[in-house]
Structure 1
Amino acid sequence: MLVKSQIKLIRSLQQKKYRNQHGLFFVEGKKTVQELLDSDFKAHSIYCTAANLFAVSDDILTEISKAELDQISSLKNPNGVLGVFYIPKAKEVDFTDWIVALDAVRDPGNLGTIIRLCDWFGIRNLVCSQMTVDCFNPKVLQATMGSIARVNITYVKLVDFLKVSDMKVYGAFMNGASVYELELPQKGIIILGNEANGISTEVEASVTQKVAIPPYGGKTSESLNVATATAILLHEIRRG
């Protein structure tokens, strides 16, 4: 059974300032909770409407009613499980493989999809500017489908991060060289920019190679969605 203090805490975690204050975040869905339980993430509490779903201690697991889950869920149609986890400390960035960097990506769905794409293509390090949406936002986590457990996400001042790296820096631009005609190295940094404004002028100064995904046919849309662009670029990077 839920008590008022638990409801208040979990509801507060929908806001970034309270996630930072408590050092906690929550995810929903059996698959995502299990993915985090199987990873290095530490569970604070698990709430579910059915018994014996997870092999965790009784002091962590609480069986609740559907009505109680409705009170703490961020979803219109809660799917039976909500887990609260401690926010982990970011690990050091590994420079031995490709790194995806995001410059002020604001949409939670886009960031969640990009995290999932990094997982799919074996990109273990995702570096985000401080203006990028919080990766522990419930909508971001929902879109990752558990991939947050396998991608090291670090928030940095992007300009400073790029200055200390000796890797070649690629940036996604409309006027760049076609990614299909470039010989891509075994490692590097690929930057994708804000949904409306692209890569900022300040970050652009650190880009050593502009890359574009050329359109085909006649009249086309103005640009690709940033997550879609990430998928194409990572495919080309891994295709080698």
Structure 2
Amino acid sequence: MLSKAQIKYIQSLQHKKYRQKSSQFMAEGDKIVPELLQEGVPVKEVYATSAWIAAHRALLDRTKDVNVTEVDENVLRQLSALTTPNQAIALLDIPGSAAIAPGSLKGTVSLALETIQDPGNLGTIIRIADWFGIRQIICTPDCVDAYNPKTIQATMGSIARVKILESDISTLIKEAGVPSYAATLHGRDITEFSKLEEGIILIGNESRGLSEAVISASTHKITIPRLGGAESLNAGVAAGIICGRLLI
């Protein structure tokens, strides 16, 4: 049974200032919570229905250091950030921020995001990165919080495998020692590029795109060929198309 104070604390994690204050975030979902446990992410607490606990008993037995609390669906509704709650919610520590060491991006492909504002877009891009084997995403400080419940939900568990870093991108791409590819409306056709072995793919804000400072600092300006009349593409869609073309 959860106390009112515990319920209030978990509810507070829906807000960025309380996530930052406590250095914890919540993840909910019948698929996401088991995936986090399977990947060995250090889950602190799990709150779940008796049916969910019974269905995942073997997994929970393998992760004995996780505290599991049985709650009923009424309590889950109080804890949930979703309109239709799932059967399980997990509490996790937010990973500590780490500086990006010079040369650490060599031999890898990274995604860098400037001022992405929609949590669903960021979650989708994290999922795309996981699909294409990209292990790190660099976000500017003004991006939406990667640990927003809506972002976590949109990752569908990929947050367990993709590291989220924070940096000023203009400075980063000047010092990283790898090529950078800025997604713009007036760059070079992505179909003209060979498969990427290392580099940073740059995706900008949903409405404004990349800033001139980032575009100017990049080594390549790239464009998805447009065959119709649409003015632009959703940031997540653009990231998926670019990764699909440059990484396969």
What is the TM-score of this pair, normalised by structure 2?
0.90
Structure 1 residue 223: deviation in Å?
0.5
CA contact (8 A) 1:46 1:84 kept: yes
Determine what percentage of the aligned residue pairs are the same residue.
40
Q: Which amino acid aligns with 1:45?
A: E
Q: Distance in 2 between matches of 1:237 and 1:58?
A: 41
Corresponding residue number in structure 1 for 2:80 = 73
Question: Structure 1: where are the runs of 5+ without partners?
Answer: none
1:34 matched to 2:41:
no
Tell me which stretches of 4 or more aligned residues in structure 1 moved more than 2 Å.
38-41, 51-59, 89-95, 182-185
Matches within 5 A, 1:116-131: 116-131=127-142
Corresponding residue number in structure 2 for 1:25 = 25
1:6-55 deviations in whole A, cap 9, x for unaligned?
11111110111111110100011122112212234212211001233333
Corresponding residue number in structure 2 for 1:232 = 241
Structure 1 residue 205: deviation in Å?
2.2
Q: What is the SS of the residue equivalent to 1:69?
A: helix
Q: Which moved more, 1:71-80 or 1:181-190?
A: 181-190
1:205 matched to 2:228:
no
From 82, 93, 99, the equivalent of 2:89 is 82
From 60, 69, 85, the equivalent of 2:67 is 60
Q: 1:144 to 1:185 in 2, by over 3 A?
A: closer
Q: Distance in 2 between matches of 1:59 and 1:119?
A: 25
Q: Give the root-mean-square deviation of aligned CA atoms.
A: 1.6
Q: Which moved more, 1:156-165 or 1:89-98?
A: 89-98
Corresponding residue number in structure 2 for 1:178 = 189
Question: Structure 2: where are the runs of 5+ without partners?
Answer: none
Q: Distance in 2 between matches of 1:235 and 1:58?
A: 39
CA contact (8 A) 1:94 1:125 kept: no
Number of residue pairs aligned between Structure 1 and Structure 2: 237
1:87-121 deviations in whole A, cap 9, x for unaligned?
11256554321111001111111100000000000
Q: What is the SS of the residue equivalent to 2:192?
A: coil
Matches within 5 A, 1:77-156: 77-90=84-97, 94-156=105-167
From 194, 200, 218, the equivalent of 1:189 is 200
